[in-house]
Amino acid sequence: MYSIIYRSVAVPNFSKFDIYQMLSKARSFNNDNDITGCLLYHNNEFVQLLEGEKEKINSLFDNIKKDKRHEKIQTLDEMEISERIFIDWDMAYHDFSDNTSVPHEKMRQIDAIFDKSSAFTKPSRLSMDFFKNVNQILFKKS
């Protein structure tokens, strides 16, 4: 199994409504292709983790890189993995500007990681740890 993490910048007219529409199609495709992962939206930037069979992940990422709804796509990490982080999710999604559902302290933690971590300014192994934290803090179904 394989995983890719990248960041990108949303084009100015990519509205929240458009993002939800994109996400709904993406989840259905991911479900059909046994792809899991997590998409985060923060200050007009996306950070996404894709997990699945290597050929499928590479081919989806090729498609995503051609998508005109975002730009400045930068791969942060890609690696063979033995297990998924987002096993239960076709594509977990969190918009950090829409933070009412997240308790203040958790939000502060995530913000700190997102803003300050060197994982998000240059390619780094730390970006995988970041998503493990995100999974624990935001998405764990207990």
Q: Two tokens at 46?
A: 């996306």
Whether residue 1 contacts residue 80, with contact meaning beta carbons closer than 8 Å, is answered with yes
Which among 116, 122, 140 is positioned nearest to 42, based on CA atoms?
Answer: 116
> Quick one: which of 40, 49, 57, 60 contacts ligand FMN (CB under 6 A)?
60
Length of the chain in residues, anyone?
A: 142
Using alpha carbons, list the distances in angstroms from residue 115 to 37, 60, 68, 112, 130: 21, 27, 25, 5, 12
Q: What are phi and psi of 89, to 5 degrees?
A: -125, 125
> Quick one: which of 67, 71, 115, 129 contacts ligand FMN (CB under 6 A)?
67
- Write the binding mask 68 to 107 for ligand FMN: x where contact by CB under 6 A, - elsewhere: -xx--------------------x----------------
Binding residues for ligand FMN restricted to 13-52, rule: CB under 6 A: 22, 26, 29-30, 39, 46, 48
Binding residues for ligand FMN restricted to 108-137, rule: CB under 6 A: none
Is 31 or 136 the residue whose CB approaches ligand FMN more closely?
31
Positions touching ligand FMN (CB under 6 A) are 8, 22, 26, 29-30, 39, 46, 48, 60, 63-64, 67, 69-70, 91
